[in-house]
């Protein structure tokens, strides 16, 4: 006798034995489908978890991607990190120099990135950086970590903000301790700004869900086409596009040492040897050039 085309009543088998065998088979199939469903649910959970883990970008200033440099004098994007010095008087922001430091998580650094000052002036507000700040574009939710040390004694504060409001901050007074500040941003895609209230030294930054950093109009000064060069102790200005160009000269410490206005190609003398920043500003734009008097 055949039942469901699968089970045959054996000659020596009773209907009760057949029913028991059918019952056992049905239970096995039910258990199989339950296990299969559980495995599918587990697989979906794993996929969802992996999908929620955002790729992490690391800016390690000890790496070869960040060679030793005196700093930036104009806004630039380096290694997808926006660096904005701000006014022409800022000549040493984003200085990379050799320095060793250790941190609580075991990270050891051999170079540091120096803000060399605060992200806003004495007349500004801490919610709105106007100088010496870092920009990171995130595509949405992001976990940000900053490894840093204070640039000196007394309370100093690291800020992470939107450019108009503070999202997170950390205040600390000891300049010898390696610090790690973590902030979890939750929200839409936007630029995140990292800066301090005064000098801080940054050793590494990580962030998840990073996009392509593009500096905004307020971050970048329009560069003019004028040329600046030296011969001996003279500084020459040529190819000026405006009849009213303001010229400011700063030494390596950021102090203003000379100022003048010119309406044509001209030159002037600097009697002390050293590095200078010549800043030109007019309606044609703005330009800062490093020159050396030998």
Per-residue pLDDT tens for 45-80?
Answer: 544 444 445 699 999 999 999 999 999 988 999 999
pTM above 0.85, yes or no: no
What average pLDDT does this structure show over 208-214?
94
Provide DSSP, the chain: -EETTTEE--TT--HHHHHHHHHHHHHHHHHHHHHHHHHHHHHHHHHHHHHHSPPEEEEETTSTTS--BS-BSS-EEETTEEEE--STT---BTEEEEEEEE-TTS-EEEEEEE--S-SS-TTS-TTS--SSEEEEEESSSEEEEEEEEESSSS-EEEEEE-SSSEEEEEEE--SSS-EEEEEEE-SSSEEEEEEESS-EEEEEEEEESB------TTT-PPPP--EEEEETTEEEEE----SSEEEEEEETTS-EEEEEEESSSEEEE--S-EEEEEEEEETTEEEEEEEEE-
Per-residue pLDDT tens for 181-201?
Answer: 999 999 999 999 999 999 999
pLDDT value for 14: 67
Per-residue pLDDT tens for 78-119?
Answer: 999 999 998 878 889 999 999 999 999 999 999 999 999 999
Average pLDDT, the chain: 86
pLDDT value for 215: 83
Q: Above 60 in pLDDT, residue 235?
A: yes
Per-residue pLDDT tens for 14-24?
Answer: 667 666 776 67
pLDDT bucket at 39, cuts 50 / 70 / 90? low
pLDDT value for 2: 43
pLDDT value for 28: 74
């Amino acid at each position: 006798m055949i039942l469901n085309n699968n089970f045959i009543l054996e000659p020596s088998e009773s209907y009760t034995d057949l029913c028991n065998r059918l019952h056992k088979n049905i239970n096995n199939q039910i258990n199989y489908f339950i296990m299969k469903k559980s495995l599918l649910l587990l697989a979906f959970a794993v996929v969802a978890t992996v999908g929620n883990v955002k790729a992490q970008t690391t800016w390690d200033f000890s790496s070869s991607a960040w060679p030793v440099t005196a700093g930036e004098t104009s806004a630039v994007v380096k290694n997808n990190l926006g660096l904005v010095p701000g006014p022409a008087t800022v000549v040493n922001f984003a200085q990379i120099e050799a320095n060793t430091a250790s941190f609580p998580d075991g990270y050891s650094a051999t170079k540091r990135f120096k803000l060399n000052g605060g992200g806003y002036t004495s007349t500004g507000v801490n919610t709105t950086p106007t100088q010496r700040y870092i920009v990171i574009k995130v595509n949405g939710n992001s976990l940000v970590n900053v490894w840093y040390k204070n640039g000196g004694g007394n309370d100093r504060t690291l800020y992470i903000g939107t450019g108009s409001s503070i999202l997170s901050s950390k205040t600390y007074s000891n300049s010898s301790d390696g610090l790690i500040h973590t902030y979890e941003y939750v929200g839409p895609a936007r630029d995140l700004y990292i800066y301090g209230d005064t000098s801080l030294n940054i050793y590494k930054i990580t962030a998840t869900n990073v996009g392509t950093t593009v500096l905004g109009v307020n971050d970048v000064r329009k560069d003019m086409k004028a040329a600046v060069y030296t011969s001996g102790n003279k500084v020459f200005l040529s190819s000026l596009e405006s009849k009213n160009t303001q010229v400011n000269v700063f030494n390596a410490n950021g102090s203003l040492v000379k100022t003048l206005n010119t309406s044509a190609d001209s030159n002037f003398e600097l009697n002390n040897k050293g590095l200078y920043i010549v800043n030109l500003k007019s309606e044609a734009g703005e330009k800062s050039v490093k020159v050396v008097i030998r």
